[in-house]
Structure 1
Amino acid sequence: MTTAPPVLTVADFATESIAVDQLAQAGYVIVPNFLAREHCQQLYDYALNLPAQGWQQAGIGRADNYTTNSAVRQDKIRWLRADYHYENAYLRMMDQLRLELNRELFMGLFDYECHLAHYPPGAFYRKHLDAFKGRSNRILTTVFYLNPDWQEQDGGQLVIYGERGEVLETVLPEAGKLVVFLSDVFVHEVLPGARDRFSITGWYRLNTSIGGVVDPTR
């Protein structure tokens, strides 16, 4: 018997004034327990049981500039698509959040793209920006963690840096935690972990499409 896909709904993020205020003022926010534990577990199990051919080696850059470089980035990814039940459930939830953010913060977010990320033990992603000012339509980055029972000694933290290179946050990748930050402001990196680490990374974007094609393309 097949388990029914989850019905995912936004927790209290968009209506929690402290979280929205922090995002507006600081440019980033960390939301523990964004999604109910049972739904996190369902998404984790889904990711864990994907076949090897369902993943691709993650790369750097976009379109013609896309390349893989294991000295910079070592995770494997799977772009989420609406025709897979669990993936569609997550995409619908994050679109609901997009509407809430537009309503609360007038950001004009147009759409959302995201991928599952699998970091095997020891894998990392060196310091980088997700967007460069004036050169991308990515506005907000989201990182949602799926890892149950994650402990400090397991590593794999997300480190967010300030404009002078100072550490602003070191985020333990615990199941249900959502991190949201401005894509073109915060340099960040993923530290090596001791266990397989799963997350969903995505970007809210502005509409800079030409002829119906969203730019930049994946």
Structure 2
Amino acid sequence: MNETLERIVDGLAEQGYAVIDNFLDPAEVKAILGLEAFSDAAASFKKAGIGKNQDLQINEAIRGDYIQWVDRSTAPAPVKVYLDKLQAVIQAVNQGLFLSLKDYEVHLTVYPPGSYYKRHLDQFKKDDHRKLSVICYLNEDWREEHGGQLRMYLPDETRDFLPLAGRLVCFRSDQIEHEVIAGTRERRSLTGWMLDQVAELRHL
């Protein structure tokens, strides 16, 4: 784990993002996918919106995913494994980059086939507490022809990353615009943000 944490810190310092394969091993991914929450996600999850609080809007022309916020106090054991690893990332980033991160928020995410999320920044205009975006993918046997890439718009290039099971992508919420390309399969992930304040109670 120490080497993984060093790679995350180095990637963020050098290029504003890090991509780590096998952050969750195949058994850990399978355990999360086996949770009841994912068995009928499109019916039980909430439609994701744009914006925050009173500014929140549902706009399927911009994003088409469904989400369920994780309550860390009642999180099932397979998800708790991931949350503990996130806490280790926060400690490493604070030591290496002095970001003063204090907390995180995470939701389970499902993109139905054909859904997408257009180019955007993760930091809200009226709320700059999201410092790092963190996504861990849960898609077993995902191939190039399935689509569903995360596309990052970097200063000198555009890079695509497939949503491979166990892959962690971490990047600066305030700097890197990105989008989710439509896929031919349902696309699942743990999506979250590292914050410089304590997470709001509505997410806990």
TM above 0.5: yes
Which whole-Å CA distance do the structure 2 matches of 1:96 and 1:138 have between them?
18
Cα RMSD for the two superposed structures: 2.2
Tell me by how many angstroms 1:92 deviates: 2.4
Tell me by how many angstroms 1:110 deviates: 0.5
Tell me by how many angstroms 1:100 deviates: 2.0
Paired position in structure 1 for 2:193: 203
Tell me by how many angstroms 1:90 deviates: 2.4
Tell me by how many angstroms 1:191 deviates: 0.4
TM-score (structure 1 length as normaliser): 0.83
Shift of the 70–89 alpha-carbon distance from structure 1 to 2, 3 Å rule, reads same
Shift of the 104–133 alpha-carbon distance from structure 1 to 2, 3 Å rule, reads farther
Q: Secondary structure at the match of 2:6?
A: coil
Structure number with the higher helix fraction is 2
Paired position in structure 1 for 2:170: 180
Tell me by how many angstroms 1:105 deviates: 2.2
Aligned length: 200
**Mapped contact 1:133–1:184 kept (Cα < 8 A):** no
Q: Secondary structure at the match of 2:5?
A: coil
Which whole-Å CA distance do the structure 1 matches of 2:138 and 2:65 have between them?
15
2:7 is the alignment partner of 1:23: no
Q: Secondary structure at the match of 1:144?
A: strand
Paired position in structure 2 for 1:161: 153
Which whole-Å CA distance do the structure 2 matches of 1:51 and 1:36 have between them?
22
Tell me by how many angstroms 1:93 deviates: 2.3
Q: Which has the larger radius of gyration?
A: 1
Ranges in structure 1 where 5+ consecutive residues have no aligned partner? 1-9
Alignment deviations for residues 43-75 of structure 1 (CA, whole Å, 9 cap, x no partner): 122253256553100001001100100000001
Shift of the 133–105 alpha-carbon distance from structure 1 to 2, 3 Å rule, reads farther
Paired position in structure 2 for 1:67: 57
Paired position in structure 2 for 1:123: 115
Q: Secondary structure at the match of 1:15?
A: helix
Shift of the 75–133 alpha-carbon distance from structure 1 to 2, 3 Å rule, reads closer
The letter of the residue matching 1:145 is: Y
Q: Secondary structure at the match of 1:13?
A: helix
**Mapped contact 1:14–1:104 kept (Cα < 8 A):** no
TM-score (structure 2 length as normaliser): 0.89
Structure 2 counterparts to residues 1-218 of structure 1, below 5 A: 10=1, 12-16=3-7, 19-46=8-35, 47-50=37-40, 53-82=43-72, 83-85=74-76, 86-132=78-124, 135-163=127-155, 166-167=157-158, 169-207=159-197, 214=200
**Mapped contact 2:9–2:92 kept (Cα < 8 A):** no
Q: Secondary structure at the match of 1:61?
A: coil
Q: Secondary structure at the match of 1:68?
A: coil
**Mapped contact 1:81–1:88 kept (Cα < 8 A):** no
Stretches of 4+ aligned residues off by more than 4 angstroms:
50-53
Ranges in structure 2 where 5+ consecutive residues have no aligned partner? none
